[in-house]
Amino acid sequence: MENNENEFMQHNLRLPELTLRGMLLGAILTVIFTASNVYLGLKVGLTFSSAIPAAVISMAVLKMARDANILENNMVQTQASAAGTLSAIIFVIPGMLMIGYWQDFEFWQTLLVSACGGCLGVLFTIPLRRAMVVNSSLVYPEGVAAAEILKVGSNTEKNSSQGSGLREITFGGIVAGILALFSNGFHMLSDGLSLWFHVGRGMTQFPIGYSTALVGAGYLVGIAAGLAMLVGILIAWAGFVPYYTITEALPDGMTMQQFAGFIYQERVRLIGAGAMGVAALWTLITLARPVIDGMKESIASVNISSDKQGRHRMDIDMSIKSIGLVFAMTVAGLLFIFYAFVSPEKLPLAQTLTFTLVGVGVAVLMGFFVAAACAYMAGLVGTSSSPISGIGILGIIVSSLVMYFLCSSFGIFDLPGGEKFATATAIFTTSIILAIACISNDNMQDLKTGYLVGATPWRQQVALLLGCLVGALVIAPVLNLLYEAYGFHGAMPRPDMDPDQALAAPQAALMTTIAQGIFSSQLAWDYIFLGMGLGVLLVIIDQLLKRNTRSLCLPPLAVGMGIYLPPSIQTPLVIGAIMGYFLNKVLKKTKGTEGLNGGVRRGTLFASGLIVGESLVGVTLAGLIVISVSSGGSNTPMALFGSDFADTAEILGLVMFLISLVIFGKVILGSR
């Protein structure tokens, strides 16, 4: 295998890499994954990384071409994954309908915000590549998993003796795919278990999510981030939630369980957002030097050809001139669309131009700073598990404060609909920031994959830009389709629609609430400040551990995520991280270093398969649901059981989840 890797990493390699057929296949996968992610994000508040399923599909399709190779497959997954991640813009932009400012999703405005914001996300992370991919120990779980899949697929075609690795991936995919089909499709298995119990006068919960894909991601993430997320879960659910439910009176009309859920949504998540904000700022500070060095190196080499530089093919990014041209075009597009967004209000020209320049300026400047933090989060916990919506919360707070100042200065609040306009401009600005953030998050995973398989960075960066453009074309039509089919909570297109079937769009609802709270002076700042203080404490603890111990650390971003994200999502991540740690210790003790290396490889491949299997089934089910809903059918077209089967489904789901953990353990130990 090592010889094959070296073959693809040669400087003078001449193989098809960024090809027309690959770009067409990438465009098709982009449409599929973007549509599916938009639906899932609005339904459950999460999106999945499309890099791994895109790599698997690309290998299966391009295998029919004789000259297909690992580098071309990598470009396809790069393009498709960018667009799949860009759909995270739905975490904020549905707020336009929730406040009644839009009646449907404006196609050109949604398109240009997504495309230009995504392209800026690609550009802002180019100077970070050397510091955070080449010269970093960050794990990039999904990037590593995608690289392993591409390597195994390539080696299997060249040497049948390497087929065992592909079998591990396939076996993991089958296990996760079957469980996902029976839980999310047939509704025979529950996707999690939540045990609520009293703590004195208060209440809290102990949840377990049954996602095998997240168990695999936890294994890839490692023990440090896993334990940090566990600390965050305990801070939230063994600390803040029981404390507030004990010390405060139960509101009329609420059960204690509903009150605990309310406390988590309205207070604890704000604390988590504050902690992540401080952690993100600290990340920017710690990365400042390598980022500046990388930018200096890029600027110094702008007028020198790659041949004269003597740089390896795998170390050549887009040129500064190309970056500058794309940057100018994207900023011009944002200025145009922001002006088009503000101009219908018929404000004086000076005020319209001020809103346009300030809105785009805030989005671009903040986007530049969050790009590094998002890239770091991708390396720490992976794209699927990164709290991009937490960045969105920080964005909506900053944007709302800026717009509050402008609207107060211009007397906008005295005009009819002034508060609604202020809220809309804050949401619009944040949508640009979020597009930059989510692509920055994904870009580094793809560049890590490319670094491991021998890709040329500038070609990958071009593929990412193409993915942003194609994905942006899909987002607005799919959003309108789902809005017309389901509606959103608080925004129903037709009065006769069933509100129980409405899409929750939880992040968009939360960010809209924050913006409205700022403009009405009712936002609970105390909880954000409390989270910021906690974030400072976590940074100090992490630094003390690093300086005074050999291997202990407490990544503050991961702790903040533990507080912010729903615990049912994080528990399987924690389980995967802890399980991998102890099984690897057993391997090292019983079979030595060689046995440990073999176990880590088997575990990595099987974990990759788990992510592949659940992702592919998730894509398929999302497509079936959208087709069913758009044709007047049910949003659970494959369900075999109703709500009366829920208790049994919880038990069956737990049993099957435990069986999947046993299988995972046997694979790592080499006893399957």
**pLDDT tens readout for residues 177-217:** 999 899 888 889 988 888 898 888 889 998 888 989 889 88
pLDDT band at 504, cuts 50/70/90? Answer: low
- Please report, to the nearest 10 degrees, the dihedral formed by the alpha carbons of residues 274, 279, 280, 282 taken in order: 130
Q: CA–CA separation, 209 vs 1, rounded Å? A: 36
| 189, two tokens | 């298995």
pLDDT of 237 strictly over 90: yes
Helix axes 646-669, 212-221, angle to 10 degrees: 40
Q: CA–CA separation, 657 vs 176, rounded Å? A: 10
What pLDDT score does 327 carry? 95
Query: Which of 139-148, 312-321, 508-517 is the least confident region?
Result: 312-321
Average the pLDDT over 458-466 and give the result.
87
The DSSP-derived string for 146-173 is: HHHHHHHHHHHHH-GGGHHHHHHHHHHH
* Contact indicator for 464, 317 with CB cutoff of 8 Å: no
Q: CA–CA separation, 188 vs 653, rounded Å? A: 8
Most confident of the following: 24-38, 162-176, 484-498: 24-38
- Please report, to the nearest 10 degrees, the dihedral formed by the alpha carbons of residues 409, 411, 417, 422 taken in order: 0
Q: CA–CA separation, 479 vs 38, rounded Å? A: 7
pLDDT of 162 strictly over 50: no
Closest C-alpha to 373, from 220, 556, 201: 556
Q: Who has greater pLDDT, 251 or 159?
A: 251
pLDDT band at 71, cuts 50/70/90? Answer: confident
% of the chain surpassing 70 pLDDT: 84
* Contact indicator for 81, 48 with CB cutoff of 8 Å: no
% of the chain surpassing 90 pLDDT: 23
pLDDT band at 319, cuts 50/70/90? Answer: confident
Which residue in the block uniquely carries the two structure tokens 């011009």? Answer: 332
Q: CA–CA separation, 133 vs 147, rounded Å? A: 13
Helix, strand, or coil (residue 160): helix
Most confident of the following: 70-84, 245-259, 278-292, 439-453: 245-259
What pLDDT score does 644 carry? 81
What pLDDT score does 657 carry? 94
Q: Who has greater pLDDT, 237 or 609?
A: 237
pLDDT band at 119, cuts 50/70/90? Answer: very high
Q: CA–CA separation, 156 vs 62, rounded Å? A: 14
* In 181-222, alpha helices (H): 212-221
Name the residue type at position 266.
Answer: E
CA 269, distance to chain mean position in Å, is 17
Mean pLDDT over all residues of the chain? 82
CA atoms within 13 A on the CB side of 423: 29
Q: CA–CA separation, 229 vs 235, rounded Å? A: 10
List residues bridging with 488 in a β-sheet.
491, 503
Burial of 286 (0-12, 13-18, 19+ CB in 10 A): middle
What pLDDT score does 10 carry? 56
Give the model confidence (pLDDT) of 589-628 as tens digits.
888 887 887 888 788 878 878 877 887 787 677 678 768 8
Helix, strand, or coil (residue 236): helix
Longest CA span, the chain: 76
What pLDDT score does 246 carry? 93
What pLDDT score does 120 carry? 92
What pLDDT score does 157 carry? 52
Name the residue type at position 245.
Answer: T
pLDDT of 19 strictly over 50: yes
pLDDT band at 243, cuts 50/70/90? Answer: very high
Q: CA–CA separation, 334 vs 205, rounded Å? A: 44
What pLDDT score does 306 carry? 46
pLDDT band at 240, cuts 50/70/90? Answer: very high
Within a 10 A sphere around the Cβ of 262, how many other Cβ atoms? Answer: 14
What pLDDT score does 619 carry? 67
Name the residue type at position 486.
Answer: Y
- Per the rule left: phi > 0, alpha: psi between -120 and 50, beta: everything else, 14 is beta
| 24, two tokens | 């067409």
What pLDDT score does 302 carry? 46
Q: Element (H or E) spanning 194, and its range?
A: strand 192-199
* Contact indicator for 209, 668 with CB cutoff of 8 Å: no
* Contact indicator for 96, 102 with CB cutoff of 8 Å: yes
> DSSP class of residue 134?
I
Give the model confidence (pLDDT) of 269-283 as tens digits.
889 888 887 887 787
Name the residue type at position 53.
Answer: P
Q: CA–CA separation, 424 vs 420, rounded Å? A: 6
pLDDT of 297 strictly over 60: no
Q: Element (H or E) spanning 302, and its range?
A: none
